[in-house]
Structure 1
């Protein structure tokens, strides 16, 4: 399970992890993942293996607090359960979100919806800005970003990865259904994600 359903793109050379900015002198601690078929950011797996953890941060930071996390705008941090992977990674960060779909303390596993892709924080300063998820993995909360490729599922290189999906909405979303003039109960990972103007604001029976 990748961070997005369908295709993901790493658009620029400086979107990669490592010393990819300022002619190789500037550090970029994560990979800028752009969902092409879905805007829902999901908990990834580790090399195809399902993983789980707990949300330890879900907030917006829009000014400097002495930590570079202010650059992330809306972001989510998941602390992985111990002993799931052989690497040093313990924390996953999902940043620049349009909004978060989880709260602190929530348990999550691979495939669960975490946030909606956006361009908050310093991503809004790009010219032009584009919606993406700055995805970063760390051993400690204050540590440097480690190689994220075991979680992104693709090389640390510019390109488009994954297979296109037919629908642009997430297939597990359930919308309001009207039958015989009665509204049926519906569920969704995030109720706010259901567009109240769906179908032009008109509900069709049957």
Structure 2
């Protein structure tokens, strides 16, 4: 591993941890190499301003690497992205073979890989497969299949096939990775991997629930059955109304298609009405992680910039059900919920639907 690569890796191990960032602070700018300073600027600024893209977001969600980034840093991000594509594909192949209702968490696999290999020598395809296999064990099963020969004759034969079983104990996973990959895994590695995983999945290094605020724990439903997506007190959380406004990125006057509700990352987001989830995906151009629900009779709602999606396409939800956790993904300047109400495809002012102080709290 080159000196620059090792420096990047050392910096990222510290900077992916929120406490580590606070302890290092701007001392990095005075004592570390220019390569690490670039890493520090990307990570530290991302903690203070959503205008800057963090290294974790670049690797896990894509996006444009800043032009000012050092070549070594750019290479490290691009290499980890390439490895992530292979890891995702391998995780999908394993999940296609798992016979119980569990599935391999690709984000967990990538978070651990990121901490262990960012800025270092990436394993080849065989090495990546060995890494993923550390998260599962295999048993061989037999099944009867029908084969057809060249003359069209059919015959039944038995064949063996592997069945993956998830390793639930992370300590065992780390032990297997260390043995299989020939690397030493420290407690710091594990703590940083947890922080990266929480950041990717929940939008906060502290994990789920860290962003809850008073009022969010209980559904806030009006007399007409319409539920506030963030609980009681939503009126005080409005930072941008529906309609024309000054765009926070360009400064131009543009139409705002919904209402912005400022809530900490990790706040539970609730379905406004009963309905069917029609979209649960990542929109890199604007909404980030978003969910859409069809409530019938031409009415639908959209919930944007989430840190985690908890509902799936086709799922039926009731008013007040938690469908996601808030965040700041996509085109966002800070943690908040972008909430839209659509009538026959036309966006309309959510304020006309949200419960007022006369609402009921079950």
Is TM > 0.5 for Structure 1 vs Structure 2? yes
Provide closer, same or farther for how the CA distance between residues 21 and 39 of structure 1 changes in structure 2, counting only shifts above 3 A. Answer: same
Cα separation, 1, equivalents of 2:336 and 2:265: 12
**How far apart are 1:19 and its partner, in Å?**
1.1
User: For the Cα contact (< 8 Å) 1:58–1:77, is it kept in 2?
Assistant: yes
> Residue 241 of structure 2 is aligned with which of 4, 7, 16?
16
> Residue 281 of structure 2 is aligned with which of 52, 55, 59?
59
**When you count helix as a share of all residues, which structure comes out higher?**
2
Gap regions ≥5 residues in structure 1: 45-50, 63-69, 83-88, 155-160, 164-206
1:132 matched to 2:340? The reply is: no
User: For the Cα contact (< 8 Å) 1:40–1:113, is it kept in 2?
Assistant: yes
Cα separation, 2, equivalents of 1:58 and 1:38: 17
**When you count strand as a share of all residues, which structure comes out higher?**
1
Provide closer, same or farther for how the CA distance between residues 35 and 162 of structure 1 changes in structure 2, counting only shifts above 3 A. Answer: farther
User: For the Cα contact (< 8 Å) 1:40–1:117, is it kept in 2?
Assistant: yes
**How far apart are 1:6 and its partner, in Å?**
3.5
1:153 matched to 2:358? The reply is: no
Cα separation, 2, equivalents of 1:77 and 1:97: 12
**How far apart are 1:40 and its partner, in Å?**
0.2
**How far apart are 1:24 and its partner, in Å?**
8.8
Query: What root-mean-square deviation, in Å, do the aligned CA atoms of Structure 1 and Structure 2 show?
Result: 2.9
User: For the Cα contact (< 8 Å) 1:137–1:148, is it kept in 2?
Assistant: yes
Provide closer, same or farther for how the CA distance between residues 34 and 138 of structure 1 changes in structure 2, counting only shifts above 3 A. Answer: same
Cα separation, 2, equivalents of 1:60 and 1:137: 19
Larger Rg: 1 or 2?
2
1:110 matched to 2:335? The reply is: no
**How far apart are 1:36 and its partner, in Å?**
6.3
**How far apart are 1:37 and its partner, in Å?**
11
Kindly report structure 1 stretches of 4+ aligned residues shifted beyond 6 Å.
none
Q: Which residue of 2 aligns with 1:119?
A: 328
Cα separation, 1, equivalents of 2:358 and 2:340: 20
**How far apart are 1:34 and its partner, in Å?**
2.5
**How far apart are 1:26 and its partner, in Å?**
1.2
Matches within 5 A, 1:1-206: 1=221, 2-8=228-234, 9-12=236-239, 15-21=240-246, 25-35=253-263, 39-44=267-272, 51-62=273-284, 70-82=285-297, 90-123=299-332, 126=333, 130-140=334-344, 143-154=345-356
Cα separation, 2, equivalents of 1:30 and 1:52: 20
Provide closer, same or farther for how the CA distance between residues 42 and 24 of structure 1 changes in structure 2, counting only shifts above 3 A. Answer: same
Cα separation, 2, equivalents of 1:73 and 1:116: 12
Please list the CA deviations of residues 81-126 of structure 1 after superposition, one character each: whole Å capped at 9, or x if unmatched: 33xxxxxx51100000001000000001111011000000001xx2
